[in-house]
Structure 1
Amino acid sequence: MEKIQILEQIAPFNLLEQSVLMEIRPKIKEKTFAKGSFFFKQGDAALRTLFIIIDGVAEIIVRNEKGVESVVGLRRPYDIFGETVLLTEKNYPASARAVTECTCLLLDRDTFDSLLHQSREFSGFFSRLITDRLRDMFEEVVKEQSYDAYGMDAQPFRKRVCDVMTSPVITCRENDLVTTAARILTKNRISSLVVVDRLNKPVGMVTETDLVARILTRGDCSVGETEVREIMTPNPISLSSDAFFYQALLTMVKNKVKQLPVIEDNTLLGIVTLRDLVQSRSTGAITTVSNIESETTIEGLKKSSNGIDSVLKALIAEKASSREICEVMTELYDRLTKKVIEISEKQMVAEGFGPPPVDYCWITMGSSGRKEQINRTDQDNGIIYDDSNPAKLKEAEEYFSALAAKIVDGLYQVGFALCKGNVMATNPQWRRPYKDWVSTLAYWVREPHSEMLRNFTIFLDFRPVYGSWDLANKLKHAVIRMIQDNPIVLHFLTRDDLAHGVPLGFFKQFITARSKDHKGEINIKESALVHIVDCIRIFSIRDGISETNTFLRICLLTDNKTLPKDDAEFIEAAYETLLTFRNRENLRKASIGLEPDNYLNPYKLSKREQAVLKEAFQAIDRLQSFTGSYFRVEGF
């Protein structure tokens, strides 16, 4: 394609008149970079060149003070890079390397300057781009901390998939015979093949398991005539090349697969396997997941679950965001919980109780319900069971009472403490038939006094973990309708939260605890995080949002225009900041044998961190004021 035609498709060059593009055409150079070669390296002097990729993929790499490299971004066809240094003429703050062979258009600084002066839209585009790119870089690599302080080593949980994937990929075609696919697998000593069509576009996956399960067990004589398309798994789960290591591991765990094709724009770039992940780091996390899945006793599960703590430490050591950590840990804790329930159900059968007499759903609440549980904290759980057959109600209650006792004890054995407030399925108040739940919730909505508000607040973040999700979803929709029909309860929920504010004085000084055990400290959870959770929950219920995760609630409230975008970004950043401070301090205490209790001494933070903490508190103060005003709480 001619240079001008290419530029006409790339922002912001598409803002320029064609006559201007024709004028600069002779000054635009074209150059091809070999796979693995560098465009420039971190610390190099400015080349006074803007790079525009027209074919291939490049990666942006940052090396920290310890010499450890991190891939912080990818540039694909029609992307530009090098603009920051082009404008500042400082040394390159990062390296750029060709992941594949890359062809680029090169624009020199003098020509670039002339375009900036000719078009306000063109220059405005680069001002915004530089700001966004620097912010992304800051979030990726800045704020380095000492791993030694937490007694752990950095591990590549945050490596990119492009760093560990295998490329090129061994493939077969969808019209190949299965015997051909089997020979390819055997010859290359691999367990899976990506299936491509005649245009080499990925259309499926075929594994050794597919051959055994779908062919060899047929027992007929048509094996030699069967094509791969008949037995392959179509539209396989895949990743993009800029996905993180932890996302690859999480995807494999969720979907119980051992290989994932890496696909960009319907083009097969590589494949990442469980073996790749094992070879790229210590096997702790992968072994933990595998062991949890294979255990058949609570005692065995207790031993296997200890590895989860190592996963948490590794994620924090590698500066994974709190949101990323919550996602990984939630998946691991959910798998642990499901396994405890499966083992408990088998114990019930072995003891003569038989299988569950009716459908039921195990629900989790609190931070676990919001998918924000990082450490194994107190249990908050319950049971909803079907009551459509009244004749089975007594049998069901006796069965689930016994089952709940086994599950709660099993969770305790694997590290989830018993709830001090007795919010557990062993308590009949949190183990009810569906219609009983509906009538109880209706009472809580009509009579929102202090004890009811506490129970209601805990319940409102519930989500299903095991069993009949239909029961949980039906109850979720029922309670949302109740509240929307009786919106006064939102006023009481708001008033309850606003009874306490953030720990900042009139002159923005920290207000710390005076108790003997925590003098000079602040409880980040009770004094700050809970206010964001409460206010965001209240608005979400008003809008009929069934999602429980605070980050996702904020996103949906922004989409609904309930929260102004700028305020939402401020609140989200504050929540992320507070979670980070809490998680870091809790981990530090655990590493020296102290109980993680959500307290921290703000004056032991750096000056910059103190300023960030105060900003987060002020964001909460604004959110509380906005919520109080909206729901007409006196004094707001």
Structure 2
Amino acid sequence: MRVSYHRQGEQFHADSDSDSALRIVRSGAIDLRDANNKLLDRLGEGESFHIGRLNTAGEDKVTATVIEDCLLYLLPDADYRALRDADRRFDRHFHGQRDRRLRRAARYEPEPHLMTQPVSAVMCRDLLTVAADATVRDAAVVMSERRVSSAFVMAGGELCGIVTDRDLRARVLAPALSPDTPVRTVMTADPLWIDADASLFEATLAMTRHGCHHLPVKHDGGLVGVVTTSDLMLARQDDPVYLVQHISRQETVAGMVEVLRGVPNLMVQWVGAGIRARQVSRVLTAISDAVVVRLLQLAEEELGPPPVPYCWLGFGSQGRQEQLLGADQDNGLVIDDAMAPEHAPWFEQLATFVCDGLDACGYPYCKGEVMASNPQWRQPLERWRETVRSWTRTPTPDAVMRVSIFFDLRAIHGEAALCRQLQQTMLEQSSRNTIFLAALAANALDRPPPLGIFRRFVVDRDGQHRDSLDLKKRGVLPITDIVRLHALARGVGAVNTDERLQALADSGELALVDARNLTDALHCLQRLRLQNHVDQQLRGEPLSNFLNPRQLPKMAREQLRDAFAIIHDAQGAVRLRFRQGLG
């Protein structure tokens, strides 16, 4: 190796570089820019570049510019190539540039896992079908003969329903219907189904969310099999379906608290088994959804049936299905406009019961009181619509803060149509309001990523979290703010951040490369955040989002820098589009 000194302003071009080599920055800083002078990366101490390898055939020419006087280590190209040929680890380390390195990290899965198998690998293919006009006696007879717990109801060669043992008990025997009753009157019509290529995780999530035990499997539109809870290994204690079913059977809040006590250790097992962060967050969200639903059911048993229809809303990370452990409550109630003044005490008691129960179950009260127990977040539909209109007409800082929580909403339980109508108003009011979008943009720019000059991490200098940075507030939330802003501007109805990014890329609102980079940055941050939670759990420490980057392996530190750099670029694009001329 040789050491060379280079002054600010000096450049390296592939065409003019007479000494082709790998260069490692000992001190100083280097900018990498493409033929359009777009900044691709900024390299600091310990980082490297090979100008010849950056300029492959058919790609834009990359130029390296010294922006602070540098000392560089130079490894001649012949030695560099020999090392890559001789050592796989060396070759993998230097393969690809920032975006590919980050994408590889975000999509890496440590080992194959049961839940990643396709549904087709475990589904039952020997299906029992009956005609829609068959009697329930006919269906029961053939189900007994075949020793199966379900039959698929067909009409014109198409699946139109499913009848199960449970249906025969609850819908025929219990109400004492005649055995000659047609199957179509007791079946579950238009049942939920899943594609044969979907993973067992997706099947588990669907069955968990909808509380079903039999899931038809289709391929190219035709019925090809069924997957049941038995197929998903219900006997395993760490199976989320098993856990959610136990939550749904509890008769008291204390019983739910006991069931949930083991969730942190299950999270450690799921991460250790190689389940990805975004899948773990969906499972944890499904568990919190199940807690809410059971609490609402217990409340209704105590209070009686609701006087008018309502919908319990989940906001924030629960609304986006991106919850991790330690998340506080963000919820609300939207009530049918038929609500009368005398109905208010019933809904107040319902909301208080559920919010108190959630706190007991490990979902703390929201410090900002964004909860259905607060009358401000418990309103009839039309009053909610007027609230949304007032927020968009006058986007005060307080209104913008509330929008950042409220506009990530999802129906958890009850009359989902109320949620859909409210979301439609939200999209109509926001997509065409440039002043409101500019205010949201200012909020999205309020948390710059913690990268200082020359890509050094900016950490807390004192206090409880000295030498650490907050992965949620400085990483995850800026991404969700940016993506929400673009989604509202485009009128995208999706709420989950991955789904929003896909819709934005499909519509052309975001360039495909920008959508992918934000997706990978989010997955990388969530993976580091989740692993940090696992490490804290194993050490017996309270869970927090603070991480000391010096404790990460070098590759993980570089991936974290890359994720923050992508956020910086995305915030720059937001500033140009939504804040230009507004300061």
Same fold judged by TM-score > 0.5? yes
Query: Cα offset for 1:293?
Result: 1.8
Match of residue 414 from structure 2: 467
Deviating more after overlay: 471-480 vs 409-418: 471-480
Query: Cα offset for 1:474?
Result: 2.7
Cα deviation digits, residues 243-268 of structure 1 (max 9, x gap): 32222222223343323344433666
Unaligned runs of 5+ in 2: 1-99
Equivalent position amino acid for 2:148 in 1: I
Cα 1:264–1:437 shift into 2, 3 Å: closer
Match of residue 523 from structure 1: 470
Cα 1:336–1:220 shift into 2, 3 Å: closer
Alignment of 1:235-254 (within 5 A): 236-254=191-209
Asked if residue 592 in structure 1 is aligned to residue 539 in structure 2, the reply is: yes
* 1:384 and 1:437 in contact (8 A); partners too: yes
Equivalent position amino acid for 1:494 in 2: A
Match of residue 368 from structure 1: 318
* 1:239 and 1:248 in contact (8 A); partners too: yes
What TM-score results when the alignment is normalised by the length of structure 1? 0.67
Match of residue 164 from structure 1: 122
Take 1:598 and 1:371, find their aligned partners in 2: how far apart are those partners? 18
Take 2:391 and 2:544, find their aligned partners in 1: how far apart are those partners? 30
Cα deviation digits, residues 198-243 of structure 1 (max 9, x gap): 99x97764433455566666655748xx7x7887656654434443
* 1:383 and 1:432 in contact (8 A); partners too: yes
Match of residue 164 from structure 2: 207
Asked if residue 380 in structure 1 is aligned to residue 330 in structure 2, the reply is: yes
1:191 aligns with one of 144, 149, 159: 149
Take 2:414 and 2:203, find their aligned partners in 1: how far apart are those partners? 27
Match of residue 213 from structure 2: 258
Match of residue 602 from structure 1: 549
Which has the higher relative contact order, 1 or 2, with Cα contacts under 8 A spaced 6 or more apart? 2
Query: Cα offset for 1:405?
Result: 1.6
Match of residue 562 from structure 2: 615
Query: Cα offset for 1:628?
Result: 0.6
Query: Cα offset for 1:571?
Result: 1.0
* 2:129 and 2:152 in contact (8 A); partners too: yes
Take 1:482 and 1:177, find their aligned partners in 2: how far apart are those partners? 51
* 1:278 and 1:286 in contact (8 A); partners too: no
Query: Cα offset for 1:176?
Result: 8.0
Asked if residue 409 in structure 1 is aligned to residue 366 in structure 2, the reply is: no
What TM-score results when the alignment is normalised by the length of structure 2? 0.73
Equivalent position amino acid for 2:323 in 1: Q
Alignment of 1:133-532 (within 5 A): 142=108, 144=110, 156-166=114-124, 169=126, 171-172=128-129, 174=131, 182-193=140-151, 205-212=162-169, 220=178, 222=180, 236-265=191-220, 270-278=225-233, 281-282=236-237, 284-309=239-264, 311-349=266-304, 355-388=305-338, 392-393=340-341, 395-484=342-431, 486-532=433-479
* 1:358 and 1:386 in contact (8 A); partners too: yes
Cα 1:562–1:213 shift into 2, 3 Å: same
Match of residue 558 from structure 1: 505
Cα 1:269–1:140 shift into 2, 3 Å: farther
Cα 1:303–1:565 shift into 2, 3 Å: same
Taking only aligned residues, the RMSD between alpha carbons, in angstroms, comes to: 3.5
Cα 1:208–1:510 shift into 2, 3 Å: same
Equivalent position amino acid for 1:144 in 2: P
Equivalent position amino acid for 2:207 in 1: M
* 1:363 and 1:384 in contact (8 A); partners too: yes
Q: SS of the counterpart of 2:230? A: helix
Equivalent position amino acid for 1:559 in 2: D
Take 2:190 and 2:201, find their aligned partners in 1: how far apart are those partners? 22
Take 1:178 and 1:139, find their aligned partners in 2: how far apart are those partners? 54
Query: Cα offset for 1:337?
Result: 0.5
Q: SS of the counterpart of 1:278? A: coil
Number of residue pairs matched by the alignment: 481
* 1:370 and 1:549 in contact (8 A); partners too: yes
Cα 1:197–1:425 shift into 2, 3 Å: closer
Q: SS of the counterpart of 2:311? A: strand
Unaligned runs of 5+ in 1: 1-133, 146-153, 350-354
Q: What fraction of aligned residue pairs are identical, expressed as a percent?
A: 30
